[in-house]
Amino acid sequence: MIYRRNKNIPQFEYVLTEEQSKGQSQDQWQLATYRYPSSKKKHPVILIHGFGTNRFDVDFPEKRYSLAKYLHAQGYDTWVIELRGTGQSRRTSLLGQLKSKFHYDWTFDDHIFKDIPVLVKWIQKKTGQKKLHWIGHSLGGTVVYASIETLGNEVCASAVTLGSAMNSTAKIGLIHLLLKIDPLVKKLPFIPLKTLAHTLAPAGRWMAPLEDNFFYAIDNVDMKIIEVALRQAVENISPALFLQMHDWYRNNHFRAHDRPFSYRDNLKKIKAPFLVCAGSVDGLTGYPDVYFGFKNISSKKKKFLLFGKEKGYRTEYGHLDLVLGKNAPREVFPQVLNWLNQNDH
């Protein structure tokens, strides 16, 4: 009897960070990759999760809400990655793993200059293709911008960002509040967002109205899905990453922490086909800050989509529901697919 592998279960592999593969010891990380392979001759897709989340942000356990499974079903060799400190990504040594549980010290720059280059080389080696389609949600989209800036347009067949800011002029109330807790964050070994999410998950539906027209549009989410997301998709946060992002918001400048590199000023280097998506009532990454990225890239072929009733969509869209909203599979996912298809050459 021949047993066929379940196509909805991805192939899992660890990728060593480049420093470790050269025998050095200062950066011993195994980065988790999840692949839905396809034999069709299309450029591979790399999906990057958002801030404080893991792979389930873009590859939700329930198939209907998985952007990764959706694209794979359309013939794309689809790769979901987990950046250091999230999901199954971990340090290589037992001592390092123990340290990671109690002390988070990575920044956005570690993702851009250490994680992404080795992950891209791995995918290129495995697929035999140099160019990838890049997709990122929330901070994952900011990673997409920065990755193309640093690796070059040669690695990009096309790119899609979903609710991803590259500017910080729209400082809503929550951001103002969070900026005031930096002295406390500096003393924490990690920000226990995962524990908080697990604790709040049972009360998620009762708290739903508090997030309406901010983190999501309440009529665009299934609260059972939100509860699952709180239990499975949330990760603890590195204080160093949190403080770096706060530096961006204080100074209105997305920049590297450990070297003289401006993610904001290098947007002009991006020339690859680019689709930028925003939610109409997203209170976390507001329209102006998402549109900033679209405005400042140099791509000749680029498109901006605002998901909301005014643009003819069924509901308004916040931040989370761009990927996990009730209507995302029939309104957002097809737009992403169409963009990939248009630029898969």
Question: Which CATH number do you get for residue 290?
Answer: 3.40.50.1820
Task: Please give the pLDDT value at position 21.
Answer: 46
What is the percentage of the chain residues whose pLDDT exceeds 70?
88
Count helices and strands in the chain by DSSP H and E runs: 15, 9
Backbone phi, psi, residue 222, to 5°? -100, 120
The least confident of 88-102, 190-204, 271-285, 308-322 is 88-102
The least confident of 94-103, 130-139, 216-225, 263-272 is 94-103
- Mean pLDDT along residues 36-62: 96
Distance CA(313)–CA(329), nearest Å, equals 12
Task: Please give the pLDDT value at position 17.
Answer: 82
Distance CA(40)–CA(49), nearest Å, equals 25
Residue 3 domain flag: no
Distance CA(277)–CA(291), nearest Å, equals 9
pLDDT digits (tens, 9 = 90+) for 94-136: 776 666 677 899 999 999 999 999 999 999 999 999 999 999 9
Task: Please give the pLDDT value at position 6.
Answer: 64
- Answer whether residue 3 shows pLDDT above 50: no
Residue 236 domain flag: yes
Task: Please give the pLDDT value at position 172.
Answer: 60
Count, residues in the chain: 345
**More confident call, 338 vs 283:** 338
Residue 167 domain flag: yes
Q: Which range marks the domain in which residue 271 is found?
A: 11-342
Q: Identify the CA nearest to 58 among candidates 127, 160, 126.
A: 160
Residue 1 domain flag: no
Task: Please give the pLDDT value at position 286.
Answer: 87
Distance CA(162)–CA(47), nearest Å, equals 11
In whole angstroms, how far apart are CA 155 and each of 60, 79, 131, 169, 256? 26, 15, 4, 30, 21
Residue 4 domain flag: no
- Contact in structure between 191 and 242 (CB atoms under 8 Å): yes
Residue 301 domain flag: yes
Distance CA(283)–CA(171), nearest Å, equals 9
Task: Please give the pLDDT value at position 138.
Answer: 97
Q: Tell me the pLDDT band of 1, cut-offs 50, 70 and 90.
A: very low
Q: How many domains does the chain fold into?
A: 1
- Answer whether residue 268 shows pLDDT above 80: yes
- Mean pLDDT along residues 221-232: 92
Buried b (16+ CB within 10 A) or exposed e, 249-287: beeeebbbeeeebebbebbeebbbbbbbbbbbbbbbbbb
Residue 222 domain flag: yes
Number of neighbouring beta carbons within 10 Å of residue 12: 11
Task: Please give the pLDDT value at position 85.
Answer: 93
Q: List helix spans (H) across 181-266.
A: 182-185, 193-200, 204-211, 223-232, 239-251
- Contact in structure between 137 and 163 (CB atoms under 8 Å): yes
Residue 2 domain flag: no
- Answer whether residue 320 shows pLDDT above 90: yes
Rg (CA), the chain: 19
DSSP code string of 105-150: ---HHHIIIIIHHHHHHHHHHHHS-S-EEEEEETHHHHHHHHHHHH
pLDDT digits (tens, 9 = 90+) for 139-198: 999 999 999 999 999 999 999 999 999 998 865 656 667 777 888 999 999 999 999 998
